[in-house]
Amino acid sequence: MIGRFPLAILPLLILAGALGFAGAGDDGIPPVPPEPKVAAKVDLPAKPFSESIEEEIKIPDDKDPDKFTLQKLKTTFEMVYVPAGEFAMGSPAAEKDRKENEGPQHKVKVNAFWLAKVETTWDLYDLWYRSKDLPRRDEADGEFEAKNNDKKLGPDAITRPTNPYVDDTYGHGRAGKPAVCMSHHAAMVFCHWLRLKTKRGYRLPTEAEWEYAGRAGTTGMYSFDVTKEKLADYAWFKDNSVTEAMPDGTTHEVGKKKANAFGLFDMHGNVAEWCLDQYDAKTYGEFAKKDLTVGAFTKPTDKKWSHVVRGGSWLDGAEKLRSAFRWPSEVEWMRKDPQFPRSVWWLTEMDMIGFRVALPVEEYPELVGLKPAVPKKGR
């Protein structure tokens, strides 16, 4: 992996931390706007559909970071319909490479939803991250200002990430590649922005939704028959992600491997994907005591750690790409960030983390009105 903060710029980062980084309040935490009003039930046919987003974005100058050009971009992403159903969540005790937090297996009923056909690409992420109209917290007086017109923004304003200090792609490339290294909070705020743009209830998938969609009706280690097909047919991972330019491995353009039975690409490998859930090692045991737990999720709180990523990445071995593998986030993912408080937008170690968006046909009552929870706890 490439470190996000080279040694030469550490003094500048420490100074930035002392002054308070852009996009944060006095305590280093970005305010979160109210939840946009979206219907709890989506009135669309039970089939795949496409969504188009258009935004004017700032393209930074390669030689002078203080200069930029404006460019209007339109990006279309596809959503795959995933029918309601039930499945055994987790892994059986005898599964090879099984981890303790993958059990006990428990029955879960999942309501119908749509899931993005591919992982969120830079093409889409940049429409939010580089939008010319979205505000960042003004460092001088703590007020929100639209930098392009100096107008004070109202309660529906929304924040977006500060600019990172190094190449935000970590050398992996941008066009068609999955966006990487965003925090769980950043992914949540992206979904918040997407709700504002589309008036639909986009969010991160719950762990149960992710595993149900990833398995696509299968019950084994992966979403295909391992006696007939190979993991490399479906995934970019440690064994096949190396390129001449990136000898330690890299992300690859989304949608280039085989899709699973639901028509979803890269559910194994490429980037590990954020789920909505707050991680709790005891959750599976509690769910196992119930019969066909509907939803079966742990609603996120204001804690910065821990949340769950699924699916494994370009850097991981085959054992971490298993359908049941769970990986909780931890403060060590930020260990090279010298700021205090540490950034809530970017991870410093994890250029293998990304996400894809979900859209429930009818939202679970506990998640109606969901918005990003400001991460007050944890460094």
Alpha-helix runs per DSSP H in the chain: 10-19, 122-129, 184-198, 207-215, 283-288
Per the CB < 8 A criterion, the answer to whether 43 and 55 are in contact is no
The pLDDT value recorded for residue 27 is 44
| Structure tokens, 145 | 């200002």
Tokens 């750690």 locate to 305
Per the CB < 8 A criterion, the answer to whether 274 and 309 are in contact is yes
359: amino acid identity, one letter: L
Could you give the CA distance from residue 299 to residue 306 in angstroms, rounded to a whole number?
Answer: 12
Q: What is the 3-state secondary structure (H, E, C) of 190-217?
A: HHHHHHHHHCCCCECCCHHHHHHHHHCC
The pLDDT value recorded for residue 343 is 83
Could you give the CA distance from residue 207 to residue 274 in angstroms, rounded to a whole number?
Answer: 9
Alpha-helix runs per DSSP H in 172-275: 184-198, 207-215
**Beta strands of 113-198 (E only): which ranges?**
113-116, 136-137, 144-145
Could you give the CA distance from residue 321 to residue 317 in angstroms, rounded to a whole number?
Answer: 7
The pLDDT value recorded for residue 356 is 98
Per the CB < 8 A criterion, the answer to whether 101 and 286 are in contact is no
Domains assigned to the chain: 7-367 (3.90.1580.10)
Nearest in space to 132 (alpha carbons), one of 188, 72, 181: 72
| Structure tokens, 276 | 């909505």
- The list of the chain residues with pLDDT below 70 reads 1-35, 65, 135-157, 339, 377-379
Relative to beta strand 106-110, strand 85-89 is: antiparallel
The pLDDT value recorded for residue 245 is 95
Chain-centre distance for alpha carbon 117: 14
Could you give the CA distance from residue 216 to residue 212 in angstroms, rounded to a whole number?
Answer: 6
The pLDDT value recorded for residue 32 is 61
The sheet carrying 272-278 orders its strands as: 326-328, 307-310, 272-278, 353-354
Per the CB < 8 A criterion, the answer to whether 187 and 273 are in contact is no
The pLDDT value recorded for residue 11 is 38
pLDDT digits (tens, 9 = 90+) for 345-365: 999 889 999 999 999 999 999
